[in-house]
């Protein structure tokens, strides 16, 4: 299971339809569970660091590591093999504090560009689907 904790409102509009389309294609352990929080509540929630260490926490931030889809797939496979749950954090408009980035197991950047939240959520969901397809040797990903 992959839990995505996102700052802001629930997925809406055409982006929600795209997310739902990718989610329909996901199989265990790549299934997604979303949790949405107002940005200020997300900051407070993460300040207390509610994670136990059994989770693999990925913080999405433009200041993070830029990796390939193949590397991302391999990372998720290692985490699943270790029996850990994946937590993906998508921040609000101002991103994450240094403390959150330091405590995360991985800080993942799609690009040095900044993307609108709704669009970024689609991209994260697509990359999870792509990682699943890479891991199972599907034809979706063209190396």
Question: What would the DSSP string read from start to end of 65-96?
Answer: EE--HHHHHHHHHHHHHTTPEEEEEE-BTTB-
In a domain, 142, yes or no: no
Per the CB < 8 A criterion, the answer to whether 5 and 37 are in contact is yes
pLDDT in tens, 77-93: 999 999 999 999 999 87
* Helix/strand/coil (H/E/C) assignment for every residue in 24-43: HHCCCCCCEEEEEECHHHHH
Are 96 and 59 in contact, with CB atoms under 8 Å apart?
yes
The SS3 of residue 6 is strand
Contact at 8 Å (CB) between 141 and 130? yes
In a domain, 100, yes or no: yes
**pLDDT score at 54:** 94
3 state SS of 102: helix
Considering its fold, how many domains does the chain have in total? 1
Q: Which domain holds residue 45?
A: 2-136
Residue 42, domain member (yes or no) = yes
Please tell me which residue, 103 or 11, carries the higher pLDDT value: 103
Asked whether residue 11 carries a pLDDT value surpassing 90, the answer given is no
| Domain membership flag for residue 108 | yes
Q: What whole-number distance in Å separates Cα of residue 89 and Cα of residue 104?
A: 9
Higher pLDDT, 113 or 120: 120
Report the range of poorest mean pLDDT among 11-15, 20-24, 102-106, 132-136. Answer: 11-15
Tokens 């609108």 -> residue: 116
* Chain segment 12-45, per-residue pLDDT in tens: 899 999 999 999 999 999 999 999 999 889 999 9
Supply the CATH number for residue 23's domain: 3.40.1280.10
Read off the pLDDT band of 58 (50, 70, 90). very high
**Distance of alpha carbon 40 from alpha carbon 28, whole angstroms:** 32
d(CA 45, CA 6): 12
Which whole-number Å values give the CA distances from 31 to 2, 5, 24, 92, 114, in the listed order?
Answer: 6, 14, 9, 23, 26
């Amino acid at each position: 299971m992959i839990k995505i904790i996102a700052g802001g409102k629930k997925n809406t509009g055409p982006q929600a339809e795209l997310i739902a389309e990718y989610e329909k294609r996901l199989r265990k352990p790549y299934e997604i569970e979303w949790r949405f929080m107002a940005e200020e509540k997300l900051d407070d929630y993460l300040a207390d660091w509610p994670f136990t260490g059994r989770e693999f926490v990925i913080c999405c931030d433009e200041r993070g590591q830029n990796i390939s889809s193949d590397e991302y797939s391999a990372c998720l496979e290692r985490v699943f093999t270790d029996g850990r749950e994946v937590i993906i954090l998508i921040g609000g408009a101002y991103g994450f504090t240094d403390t959150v980035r330091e405590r995360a197991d991985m800080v993942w950047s799609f690009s040095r560009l900044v993307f609108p939240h709704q669009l970024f959520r689609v991209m994260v969901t697509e990359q999870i689907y792509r990682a699943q397809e890479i891991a199972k040797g599907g034809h979706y990903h063209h190396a």
